[in-house]
Amino acid sequence: MSRYATITVIGRDKTGVVAGVTNLLFKSRANIEALEEQVTRGQFSMTLQASWKAASFDENALGQGLRALGRELGMEIKWWFTDPKRPQRMALMVTREPHCLDAVIEAVNARRLKAEIVAVIGNHRDLQATAEKVGLPFHYVSWTNRAKAEEKTLKILEKAQADFVVLARFMKILSPNFVWRFKNKIINIHPSLLPGFPGPQPYRQAYEHGVKIAGVSAHFVSMHLDEGPIIAQESFRIKPGMTLRQIVAAGQPLEAKALVNGIRLYLTRQLDVHWGVVNQV
């Protein structure tokens, strides 16, 4: 038996951070299985996955060491333990449109997605009844102040022990401060064939540009709007004379389909992100 943990380190960039964390883990007899770090505008971010043989693992000592190291470095260090055999814990973020939320809930209940929904977070209350009807905890977070909203949301995710996040037509932009904490663990659905028509109102952009084929993209969220690695896409033909309303109606079922497929690929570990591109393995 082994113990597994994910560790995140975030703060102002300085020398010795990677060495400090890896040396502490070496002393705890950890096997570092994955490590990714980056610096953006002076902000350091690292995500690390490690494992220990259960017989030689001291969880309390590790926690004390990481807390002390965080204070010494002036960094935020968080960690959580995972069991590869248990279902992944998924949090859903929503606004007002129900079709993606409905599709994910249905796929989980039908066991087509082997995950556990641990929280539904909305910046409006429109979908609260939908979530609570099937026994899911709903958390309303006002998004009038993004920094405070993200801080509250991160606390909800931490308390729920969410492994990854799905933006089920969540219509707000997340800051790098938020995204750093879930590197390649936030899945979004965007209603265009990225990289075409990023940003707001992509169906209207497609309509006004007169494209003949439109579509949707499930992708990982990165620090750059709608530029994260693409996981899955679906497309449809725009027939002559179709109105904007008809284009939206044709695209929404495909949004749900692509999002569920993207989550499925993520859960079955068929994805590998290399230099910003998703490859199926």
Parallel/antiparallel/unpaired status of strands 213-220 and 230-237: antiparallel
Task: Kindly list the domain boundaries of the chain, sorted by start residue.
Answer: 2-82, 88-280
CATH pick for 2-82 out of 3.30.70.260, 3.30.420.40, 3.20.20.70, 3.20.20.30: 3.30.70.260
> What's this model's pTM, rounded to 2 decimal places?
0.85
Q: Please choose, from the candidates 131, 152, 130, 129, the residue with its C-alpha nearest in 3D space to the C-alpha of residue 141.
A: 152
Give the pLDDT of residue 279: 57
Q: For the structural domain made of 88-280, what CATH number should be given? A: 3.40.50.170
Band of pLDDT at residue 277, cut at 50, 70 and 90: low
> With the C-alpha atoms ordered 234, 239, 244, 245, is the resulting torsion angle positive or negative?
negative
The type of residue at 237 is R
Active site members = 226
pLDDT tens sequence across 194-225: 999 999 999 999 999 999 999 999 999 988 88
Band of pLDDT at residue 172, cut at 50, 70 and 90: very high
Alpha-helical segments (H) within 110-160: 128-133, 146-160
Mean of per-residue pLDDT scores for the chain: 91
CB 48 within 8 A of CB 79: no
